[in-house]
Amino acid sequence: MPKRTTDMGQLDNQIAIVTGAGRGIGHAIALKFAGEGADVVCISRTAENAEKTANEARALGRRAWAHALDVADSVAITAASEKIIEQTARVDILVNNAGITRDGLMMRMSEEDWDLVLDTNLKGAFLLTKAFTRLFVKQRSGRIINVSSISGLIGNAGQANYAASKAALIGFTKSVARELASRGITANALAPGFIETDMTAGLSPELREVMLKNIPMRSFGQPEDIANAALFLASPAARYVTGQVLTVDGGMVM
């Protein structure tokens, strides 16, 4: 569990927005940031999950706000961003973590499954980033962290839609980094490998064994591993890091 914020934290008194905060990697990042002194805006598709994470952040002594939001809904994003700025007055960190999978071989993949994954994983990051960029520019500061995947680096059979969305997210990150660097704003991506979350829980024992053989460290990662990497990119230590992809995968992609 993250530490309580009685001690000085790396993110003291900053405001962080985390999408997909209701579970898995997003949940771990939100609580890691709260444990390091940040107030957290917890965005999830369901109000119940968003509020649960927000309550856990409050238990660490931080302010937290819960928003139920479909990140691919531009109208909802506009309304929510206005509400968030009204609630917080400023935003220091934006973590675009919300993501879904609809796996299947490409030749059998429906257009609906393609669009749904691209809309959530890529368009959602675009909409959230655009919504808060003007505020970042006005502040002349901000950290944007996009959660990509090793699938976006090397592809993965049965995940043409997911891999495409995550590869495009890397290109998006680098472009945003170039656009905003002169304003003191950084944009970086994380590329998790196989992490123990709901997304990997459904893997068969046989498939897990195959995956483990491709990981030099011979183990799946934990959400906390990604949260620690996100903390680095959000912290003062990463002041001069932008446009980069930090791979956290136990050595799977070298």
From the candidates 33, 65, 126, 162, which is the catalytic residue?
162
Q: Give the DSSP H/E element, type plus range, for residue 191.
A: strand 185-192
User: What strands lie across the sheet with 39-44, from one edge to the other?
Assistant: 64-68, 39-44, 15-19, 93-96, 142-147, 185-192, 245-248
Q: Are strands 142-147 and 185-192 parallel, antiparallel or unpaired?
A: parallel
At 198, the pLDDT band (50, 70, 90 cuts) reads confident
- Rounded CA gap, 154 and 132, in Å? 30
Q: 232 — phi, psi (to 5°)?
A: -60, -50
Using the predicted structure, report yes or no on whether residue 6 has a pLDDT greater than 60.
Answer: no
Domain 15-246 matching CATH 3.40.50.720: the answer reads yes
- Rounded CA gap, 81 and 67, in Å? 10
- Rounded CA gap, 240 and 24, in Å? 28
Q: What is the pLDDT of residues 30-39, one digit of tens each?
A: 999 999 999 9
Q: Rounded to two decimals, what is the model's pTM?
A: 0.95
Using the predicted structure, report yes or no on whether residue 5 has a pLDDT greater than 50.
Answer: no
Give the count of beta carbons closer than 10 Å to the beta carbon of residue 6: 8
Nearest to 93 by CA among 148, 1, 19, 5: 19
Amino acid at 122: L
Q: Does residue 162 have an active-site annotation?
A: yes
